[in-house]
Chain A
């Protein structure tokens, strides 16, 4: 039957007086259909919502298109002999308030839909002579069949408020003039796609830097991910060889290096590789070099150094992660290959690597994403430098560290937001292409 389906449309067409009344007075239907506590709570939410909207919400939304017009003024006070500042509009706060209000409205719409459906569902239950769940039964189901609601409400709320809202807020900034560049820190305006054009335009100063940084970011992520993966695997295999003595000891040595907090080792590396740091001193004392090696001031050397250090940081991790999986490779595969006279190099590339790639694709993608967004290693090692005069991005800057410089140091918030969005777009493309095709995604249920 058509009216059996619990939808908002049916609730509005076939609902009784109280269900229809819920469209205006939220919770009315629930109260009438014997779920009084729930209904009162929903109604209280509605009152709070309207109170918020009348006091602040509507004006927040009205300010959103203009983002404020009142500039901060300066008035000469003759009596006190000083300039007095009059409060102007703060566009950044207006934008934030607007974004939050949009989320509040979306939340109340969702609640409205839920309570309409629920009210209609209760009405149908009563009409067909079924018992209406009491409050006690509802609470009990929150710890049984509906346990996921109890467990996930708080984490989801946290993600909504401190991840999704900030993200949307930051994305909106990309379409404004919010930047220190032309003095738009207090009062700014909508700017359409201009900042995107600027970043993508290869001939402009910002655009040129963007493509440079992007190219290095991708080169870096490929080297960091795949070298780590292969070398880490080789190390794990060397340690696990039948003839290797003291397996636990070797493993301990490598694991110890990652047990020390990463920011500590990175800062130590930075100091050790300075012109008068320990490494240069050691090499000079041995007479291997006469001049200190410019580890951080020469662009090419700095890039190589950083890749070497990510190997130092990453290889033990990979070793740790793949050791268990390596032992899962069916032994018959190896024996068959040996029978056919394959050498160990050939066995690695024909059997081990394909098997590992097949099993660990999601892990590889995760570490590729992690490397593109690897802020600590660049910031603590080279600080993105060396930087050419007139540039905001250094030669070893990744998109993330450039984003940091643009927002925190330069206060070019709109450009920073555009860079963030571009990073996301690039990562999405890469991830979708690989992840969708991986076996582990397709067969998630199959392994349970």
Chain B
């Protein structure tokens, strides 16, 4: 009852501001959602080609999805999907281990190499990632990892070899776990390894999930490393290069609506993963800022 009264007391000016804010938010939300709605509509569009004279499709069909999933002659989407899945699973396991190991060591252990390592990581982060990529390609080539099915190993290596540099968010989270818990466990005779696996990991579940997911998503959304490594080896393409290829001159007319279908199919799982892990990201962020 009192609440109601208070609401009625809102001054006209304040009410006007409220209406304005909601209208503004609605317009902004529309702008942000529009491209996504448009691509979903395009994925069901019956007319082929990239450009049409109307904003909304004239006819709707499921054929784009069917073609995308069954056509194996020109751009083999199911194969690309499997390639990416294998790479994503392998690199996810390795880089999760790397990131958490480094973050835990830097947060909990004290050793001579600690500060230099953190400074080194910062310095290496200032070089354009691209610059190392060209040379990485030459190194992988001299190891014979740029031909045929070896490209897959090359990509896995490229995706996880340097993940030890991306420890900041996890370290920020570990820093927020009180050290007294570790100290108590060590007093009871636990080794550092036991503290790491039995105490810190369960407590840091959000950040473990976050790390696993970011590592898993990376190969799906990276496009440039995969492009440089795969070059013209169509049977090694990952999803990202496949989709990019569908927009090139020779394919765009035939494949544009299939591109939209592929984009929708890939985006759904990734969007779900992202929406699920965003709160861990926020938590890690405020932890990282504090530490």
Contacts and interface: CB of A to CB of B under 8 A. Distances in A.
A272 B138 CA distance: 37
Contact of B32 (A253, A269, A399, A448): A253
B214 to A, nearest CB: 13
Interface string A378-408: 0110000000000000000001100110011
A55 interface: no
Interface string B26-69: 00110111011011000000000011111100000000000000
**Chain B residues touching A, range:** 35 or more
B210 interface: no
B205 to A, nearest CB: 18
B1 interface: no
A206 B112 CA distance: 45
Interface residues of A, number: 100
Contacts of B158: 162
B163 A359 contact: no
Nearest to A407: B134
B36 A321 contact: no
B244 A267 contact: yes
Nearest to A155: B164
Contact of A408 (B101, B134, B179): B134
Nearest to A426: B126
Contacts of B153: none
Contacts of B17: 243
B126 A369 contact: yes
Contacts of B117: 152, 156
A257 interface: yes
Interface string A154-169: 1110110111111101
A245 interface: yes
A173 B135 CA distance: 10
A69 interface: no
Given A145-B192, A163-B162, A285-B54, A155 B286 contact: no
Interface of A: 92-93, 96, 140, 143-145, 147-148, 150-152, 154-156, 158-159, 161-167, 169-170, 173, 235, 238-239, 241, 243-245, 250, 252-265, 267-272, 274, 276-278, 281-282, 285, 312, 316, 320-321, 323-325, 328, 359-360, 362-363, 369, 373, 375-376, 379-380, 399-400, 403-404, 407-408, 413, 416-417, 420, 423-424, 427-428, 431, 435, 440, 444, 447-448
Interface of B: 14, 17-18, 21-22, 24-25, 28-29, 31-33, 35-36, 38-39, 50-55, 97-98, 101-102, 104-105, 109, 111, 114, 117, 122-136, 138-139, 142, 157-158, 160-165, 175, 179, 191-193, 196, 217, 220-221, 223-224, 228, 240, 243-244, 247, 256, 259, 263, 266-267, 270-272, 274-275, 278, 281-283, 285-286, 288-291
